[in-house]
Amino acid sequence: MKTVMTMDFKEQLQNEVLRVEEILDEYLPAKENFQKIIMEAMEYSVKAGGKRIRPIPMQESFRMFGGVSKLVEPFMAGMEMLHTYSLVHDDLPAMDNDEYRRGRKTTHVVYGEAVGILAGDALLNYAYETAARAFDMADSEEMCQRVSKALRIFMKKAGIYGMIGGQTVDVMNEGKPVEQDMLDFIFRLKTGALLEASLMIGATLAGADETKVLVMEQIGSKVGLAFQIQDDILDVVGDEKVLGKPVLSDEKNRKTTYVSLHGMKQAQEDVEGYTKEAMLLLSNLKNSQAVCNTEFFENLLVMLIHRNK
Amino acid sequence: MKTVMTMDFKEQLQNEVLRVEEILDEYLPAKENFQKIIMEAMEYSVKAGGKRIRPIPMQESFRMFGGVSKLVEPFMAGMEMLHTYSLVHDDLPAMDNDEYRRGRKTTHVVYGEAVGILAGDALLNYAYETAARAFDMADSEEMCQRVSKALRIFMKKAGIYGMIGGQTVDVMNEGKPVEQDMLDFIFRLKTGALLEASLMIGATLAGADETKVLVMEQIGSKVGLAFQIQDDILDVVGDEKVLGKPVLSDEKNRKTTYVSLHGMKQAQEDVEGYTKEAMLLLSNLKNSQAVCNTEFFENLLVMLIHRNK
């Protein structure tokens, strides 16, 4: 299932990415006082040149359910900060021990390991401080409840029942053969959880009811799985220069991947399968409530999966 | 300024500590699924035998302003989890490199460094997840706003403008001579911030107005300073066996302390001075709103400072 990436889509995406950069600049802390270095390390980590597309599905989910205000913006900034903290801690010597990410030195290499740990902690904490600024825009019980629900989804999907849970299982099984159910668990929690959170948060802030929020979770789960399988595929066929990390790094670490478990053909079919299922759920939702055009949203999710870089 | 520790006080404190243990058991996550080890490491860290008095000032502040419900309990549990995460990360090899705490092996020694990092992250995240469960008890806009305010105080005082900020400055100046203003900054943020947060959160959840919440912040700040100066004093005169950590460990690390900057006599006078100021603020508050008996609260704060273990 390929979606045509029209000039319109690329232009709109570029605009959205620029807007995400602006939002991040607005919400990153000023670099001041005795603890200035931690703010510098946070900014260095966040600005390490990611694609900045992570907060966009959250915004699209918000828009899809009729959201028009700036309510979603502190959560978008918080999501990017939270994602960054997980990378900073993942790169530490006791974890993946990566000295470079996206061609730049990792945070602990530049600032030392102690500040690397603290900068990760700081980004995790500040992600929630930032998202919670949405309470400033909540002037009724209904809005206060929406923000609190969104915040709790964010926390749950980032924690031991989400990303941290997935990271733990991943770390504990480094270099060991892994069964399918455990690999699914790692995929679902380590990569999928934050995407699920993004789609759920957008919908919740816009006032979608619980059932629809749960459908958004399922869409996130399926896109996340497809994304992660595609990642394993790219690790085998990708071009090192394009990806910015050594190809076959998973194989080097003797890691079980979706491709090593199921073979390349099955992996590619499953990417298509999960993508289709996600698109069907999205399309049913759209029809059930006559929402605005979701073409950009669909293109975005497919692009997330079908990337080659 | 010594306060008489009556049998009543000791009994009441013991009861409150038991209640804190119960609350923690209620809020710690079940140990289940593939990521079970992270829940085990969290529990091991939290149950490492602390004095469990940290959440009690929060509860007393809540009671002082008329709070009677269970609203404060998730925040009490969250505060203990957050404090624990800071210890787990502080003990890591790249930070203080401590193998023992309170006579038990530290988390990273038992579970490995990677899980040590993840368990700290998990406790930080779960501290907020836990505190946010207070939203379940917030059934009006007023209550929703109180919980959101309390949560934001918690986050701010734990982050770069609070504890993490203090830790950063502390770590960056390890082994270097430190000026008074920087030492104050470290004391205020690294140790004081969470106590300030505790008193402010209790008051906020009970519905105290902004001015009174700010007075509670000042009380926390003064008690925190006195506590930290007393810590430096104990480091010189304390008995290793009683304290459970090597005496003169700060001197070993060539660390500037309040005692090395000002001498023992001044340090002892300042402990008394800050304690008196805090008690005066508390007493004024009590008189201004005819609140219930604060004798236990006063005894508690003085005990926090005048400990010898």
* A chain contacts of residue B166, beta-carbon cutoff 8 Å: 35
Nearest to B129 among A112, A126, A155 (CB): A155
In B, which residues are within 8 Å of A34 by CB distance? 165, 169, 182, 185
Find the closest chain B residue to A156 by CA distance: B129
SS3 assignment, position A6: coil
pLDDT digits (tens, 9 = 90+) for B97-106: 999 998 999 9
In chain B, where the domains are located? 7-305
Give the chain A residue nearest B111 (alpha carbons).
Answer: A172
B179 Ramachandran zone, left/alpha/beta (phi>0; psi -120 to 50): beta
- B122 CA: distance to closest CA in chain A (Å): 6
Q: What is the DSSP letter of B69?
A: S
CA distance B44 to B17: 18
Q: Is A185 in Cβ contact with B159 (below 8 Å)? A: no
How far is residue B249 from each of residues B87, B132, B183, B261, measured CA to CA in Å? 16, 38, 17, 17
Cα–Cα distance for residue pair B244/B147, rounded to 1 Å: 37
CATH number of A7-305: 1.10.600.10
Contacts of B170 in chain A (CB under 8 A): none
Verdict on whether the full-model pTM lies above 0.90? yes
Using the 8-state DSSP alphabet, how is residue A256 labeled?
A: -
**Nearest-CB residue to B148 (from A113, A135, A165):** A135
- The pLDDT-based confidence of B50 (bands split at 50, 70, 90) is confident
Q: Do A117 and B132 touch (CB under 8 A)?
A: no
CB A45, CB A175: distance < 8 Å:
no
Cβ contact, residue pair B129, A189, below 8 Å: no
Please list the pLDDT of chain A residue by residue as tens digits (309 residues).
445 566 689 999 999 999 999 999 999 999 999 999 999 999 999 998 678 888 999 999 999 999 999 999 999 999 999 999 999 999 999 999 999 998 999 999 999 999 999 999 999 999 999 999 999 999 999 999 999 999 999 999 999 999 999 999 999 998 888 999 999 999 999 989 999 999 999 999 999 999 999 999 999 999 999 999 999 999 888 655 555 555 555 555 567 889 999 999 999 999 999 999 999 999 998 877 656 678 899 999 988 888 764
**Contact (CB<8Å) A33/B165:** yes
| Nearest chain B residue (CA) to A29 | B160
How far apart are alpha carbons A234 and A183 in whole angstroms?
17
Q: Are A224 and A106 in contact (CB under 8 A)?
A: no
Lowest mean pLDDT of A3-7, A12-16, B208-212, B239-243, name the range. Answer: B239-243
Q: What's the ipTM?
A: 0.93
Q: Which residues pair with A101 in a beta bridge?
A: A104
Dihedral, CA of residue B156, residue B161, residue B166 and residue B169, to nearest 10? 150
Q: Which residues of A touch B37 (CB under 8 A)?
A: 168, 172
Q: Which residues of chain B make contact with A137, given a CB cutoff of 8 A?
A: none
